[in-house]
Each structure stands twice: as C-alpha cells, then as structure tokens.
C-alpha cells in the first residue's frame, strides 16, 4: 500500500482515532432509547427472579421483602399442579412442533409443484393459508366457540344430524390435545410453509434436472434432494422451537379453552398457572417460583439444543 506510511504517521493516526471515537459515540447515542427500553422491560424483570426466593410483600417492595430461600419452590413442587403443568407444557409443545413442521413442509412441497406453472393460483393458496396467522386468540376463541359450543356449535349439530351423540367439548379434556394441535396448525402452517417454500426455491434447479435425466421419480427427488438441502433451515427452526418448548402460548391455552377449569387436566400449562396463581389467587411466591423455574429450565434448554446442533450441524448453530 503506497499510502500506508501516511496512516502510520502520528498525525494521521490521531486524526483517525478521534474520527472513529466520534463515530462510536454517535452510534452509541443512537442506541440509547432502545437500550433503555430493554433495560427496563427485559433486564429489570430478570433481576426480579429474586422474588421467587422471597416472601414478597407489596408494601416492603422487592428488595425489602424477607428472604425465604427455596420455600416457595418446596410449596410449588409439593402440589400436584407442578407435575401437571410441566407435562402439559412439554407434551403439547412437542405435538405442536411436530405437527406444524409436517404440515408446513407438506404445504410447501405442494405449493412448489404449482409455483412455476400457475403463479396466480400459487399466490391465492399462499395468501389463504397464511390468513389465519393474522387472527388473535381472542378472535380464534369466537371461531372455535361457533364450532364447538355444546348446544349451538356446528360440530355437534353435524354429529346429531348424522345420528350421533353431542359432545360437551368444553368439559371433555381428553379431546383438547387434538383440538389445540389442529388450531395451532391452522394458525401457523401457512406462515412456516412460506419460509420453507422460500428455502425450496433457493435450491439450484440443476439438481432436479440431473435427477430427472437419471429417471428419479418426484417422490425420490423430494426425499433425496429437497429435504436434505432444507435440513439446515429445518434444524434451525426446530431448534428455536425446542428452545422455547418450556414456554406455552398463553393466548391459545387461556382464550381458546375459555379458561374452563374442567379442561385443566390437559390444558393447564406453566404460563396459565403463573397467571392464575398471580392474579386470581394472588400467591406471588408460588407464581414467581413457577415462573423462575420456567425461565431457568427454558434457558438451559436453549443452551442444550444449541450445543446439540453445534455438535451435529455446526453451521446451523445460533451461537
């Protein structure tokens, strides 16, 4: 570099440094509002997990309340609730992850086939299947109510019209793992199929041309080309979901079940338990113990799933 001697000379260096630190300061200043919001609404609550180790009294504040060690956790794990909410949260989320993945990949594969020849149709299907993603769980509760209401619901009317016995859906917990899985697929499959379709479109068409020349069937091409090449994308999405497997979708479990106590055996999850214990029962200790347990186990799961991916598929790891 002919100019490097210049950069090495003292005056230039100093000038460059002040320039850079001025630039650094300006960029840092730009970040201040966002960092303040994160500090208040993400980091302060993180320190708030000490509430789980205290006998919290509102008038004493978080710092002033008495330390009680693990007492809140003893109470929490002394109840039957603890096992139930952990099993429900993990079980339902595992169902959701698998079902949404299979449905989204299936839809994406179908869309891929019509994508190039019938653009208009492909767009139409894509928009329609994505549409449910826009609805809040409050609205979805209305949909599900119109379908499942015992006396007026469409499902029961269809059952009786076909000569069957109506079912009290909102009092029958055994059906809800399936019902909630269907709703989750309905709401999210469109979204994820768009992600996977984009991944499929990015695959070099020459692979398929070569495979067709070799006489490979469509089915074989899917298994041998499409899915293997999508693997990194699938892994990262499943990994992210597993990292969040200890967190349930509060809206789904609270709104769509209409918070019916009869359904708790299968639908009470950590998040609904924490909410109910905090607001209805007012037991801050138990609620914060459950919340802290969730945060710590959740964090461990993220680290673990990332470690797992680093070992197997290094380039897909998040960090």
Candidate residues 12, 16, 47, 74; the one interacting with other proteins per rule CB under 8 A? 47
Residue that the structure tokens 């009290």 belong to: 168
Min dist CB 169 to other proteins, Å, is 13
For residue 90, state whether it binds other proteins (rule: CB under 8 A).
no
Among 6, 7, 14, 38, binds other proteins (CB under 8 A): 38
Q: Does 40 bind other proteins (CB under 8 A)?
A: yes
Q: What is the number of residues in the chain? A: 319
By CB under 8 A, tell whether 63 contacts other proteins: no
> With contact defined as beta carbons under 8 Å apart, do 236 and 287 qualify?
no
Residues 6 or more apart whose Cβ sits within 8 Å of residue 301: 242, 243, 245, 246
Rounded least distance, CB 191 to other proteins, Å = 6
Using the rule CB under 8 A, is 294 a contact of other proteins? yes
Any contact of residue 143 with other proteins (CB under 8 A)? yes
Determine if 125 is a binding residue for other proteins (CB under 8 A): yes
Of 14, 94, 98, 139, the residue at the interface with other proteins (CB under 8 A) is 139
251 contact partners, CB below 8 Å, separation of at least 6: 136, 137, 138
Is residue 33 within the footprint of other proteins (CB under 8 A)?
yes
Site membership for other proteins, residue 288 (CB under 8 A):
yes
Stretch that binds other proteins, among 4-12, 26-34, 84-92, 93-101 (CB under 8 A): 26-34
Question: Going by DSSP bridges, is the β-strand pair 66-67/54-55 parallel, antiparallel, or unpaired?
Answer: antiparallel
Instruction: List alpha helices for the chain, DSSP H.
Output: 4-8, 10-38, 44-47, 61-64, 71-78, 81-115, 119-130, 137-148, 154-161, 176-201, 205-213, 218-221, 227-243, 250-251, 264-267, 270-276, 284-312
Residue among 146, 178, 260, 281 that touches other proteins (CB under 8 A):
146
Binding of other proteins by 307 (CB under 8 A)? no
Any contact of residue 221 with other proteins (CB under 8 A)?
no
The 10 Å CB-count burial string (b at 16+, else e) for 177-188 is: bebbbebbbbbb
Task: Tell which one of 1, 27, 162, 213 touches other proteins (CB under 8 A).
Answer: 27
The answer to the question of residue 159 lying near other proteins (CB under 8 A) is: no
């Amino acid at each position: 570099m002919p100019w490097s001697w210049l950069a090495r000379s003292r005056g230039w260096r100093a000038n460059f440094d002040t320039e850079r630190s001025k630039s650094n300061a300006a960029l840092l200043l730009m970040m201040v509002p966002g960092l303040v919001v994160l500090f208040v609404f993400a980091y302060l609550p993180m320190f708030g997990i000490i509430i789980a180790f205290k006998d919290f009294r509102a008038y004493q504040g978080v710092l002033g309340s008495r330390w009680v060690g693990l007492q809140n956790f003893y109470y929490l794990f002394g109840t039957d609730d603890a096992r139930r909410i952990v099993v429900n949260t993990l079980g339902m989320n595992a169902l959701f992850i698998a079902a949404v993945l299979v449905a989204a990949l299936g839809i994406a594969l179908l869309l891929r086939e019509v994508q190039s020849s019938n653009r208009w149709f492909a767009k139409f299907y894509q928009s329609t299947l994505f549409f449910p993603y826009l609805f809040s769980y409050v609205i979805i509760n209305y949909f599900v109510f119109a379908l499942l209401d015992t006396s007026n619901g469409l499902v029961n009317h269809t059952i009786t019209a076909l000569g069957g016995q109506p079912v009290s859906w909102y009092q029958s917990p055994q059906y809800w793992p399936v019902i909630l899985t269907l709703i989750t697929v309905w709401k999210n499959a469109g979204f994820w199929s768009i992600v996977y379709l984009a991944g499929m479109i990015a695959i070099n068409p020459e692979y398929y041309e070569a495979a067709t020349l070799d006489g490979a069937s469509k089915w074989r091409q899917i298994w041998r080309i499409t899915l293997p090449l999508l693997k990194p994308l699938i892994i990262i999405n499943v990994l992210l979901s597993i990292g969040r497997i200890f967190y349930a979708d509060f809206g789904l479990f609270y709104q769509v079940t209409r918070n019916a106590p009869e359904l708790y055996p299968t639908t009470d999850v950590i998040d609904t338990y924490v909410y109910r214990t905090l607001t209805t029962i007012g037991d801050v200790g138990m609620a914060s113990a459950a919340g802290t347990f969730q945060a710590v186990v959740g964090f461990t799961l993220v680290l673990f799933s990332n470690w797992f991916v680093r070992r197997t598929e290094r380039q897909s790891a998040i960090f």
